[in-house]
Amino acid sequence: MDSGSNNSQISNVSIDAIQELSVKTSNYSAECGRNSGAAINVVTRGGTNRFRGSGYESLRREELDANDAFANARGVAKPELKYDNFGGTLGGPIMKDKLFFFGSLDWRKIRRSTAPVLRTLPSSAGRTHRCCRRPGTTRSATSSPG
């Protein structure tokens, strides 16, 4: 259910923990709720009589991303972005043929710099200058309004 902020059920399920996924876009039964739009059902994996698991890591770095076209036109450098997604799953028996467990953990570590900061600075002539400075640097580009 997702009806604005009321009745929301939001679950972030690891990709490795998904066994079945179904998307219903129209003509679905009353079991899917009262809201219009797509109904997305996710079934997670369960444990088995054998211990099984997985581990993964995916990385994203700014060296592989393009800079924004407007930032290129202004000569603004590309902001820092480091995105790490890692985790794993583990499942197995507690009592053979009767009781099983399955668990999944997913961590995300995001490091990024903020967008350039726009400031208005007074000048000695009484006019204001707009200054755009990238956080963590001492260089700035100034211009007086025309």
Identity at 135, one-letter amino acid code: P
pTM here is 0.55
Three-state DSSP state, 138: coil
Question: Which residue did the predictor score with more confidence, 21 or 118?
Answer: 21
Residue 144 clears pLDDT 60, i.e. is over it? no
**Residue (of 96, 89, 136) closest to 116 by Cα position:** 136
Structure token pair of residue 51: 């211990």
Rg for the chain, CA atoms, rounded? 25
Residue 32, φ and ψ in degrees, nearest 5:
-85, -5
Residue 126 clears pLDDT 80, i.e. is over it? no
State residue 122's pLDDT score. Answer: 54
Name the percent of the chain lying above pLDDT 70. Answer: 66
User: How crowded is residue 87: how many other Cβ atoms within 10 Å of its Cβ?
Assistant: 18
CA distance 41 to 119: 48
Yes or no: say if 91 and 52 are a contact pair by the CB < 8 Å rule.
Answer: yes
**Residue (of 62, 59, 109) closest to 81 by Cα position:** 62
Structure token pair of residue 52: 């099984």
Q: What is the per-residue pLDDT across 40-96, written as a single tens digit (0 to 9) for each?
A: 888 888 888 999 999 999 888 877 888 888 888 888 888 788 888 889 999 999 999
Q: What is the per-residue pLDDT across 9-29, written as a single tens digit (0 to 9) for each?
A: 666 788 888 899 888 877 777
Identity at 111, one-letter amino acid code: R
CA distance 146 to 144: 6
Mean pLDDT confidence for 110-120: 62
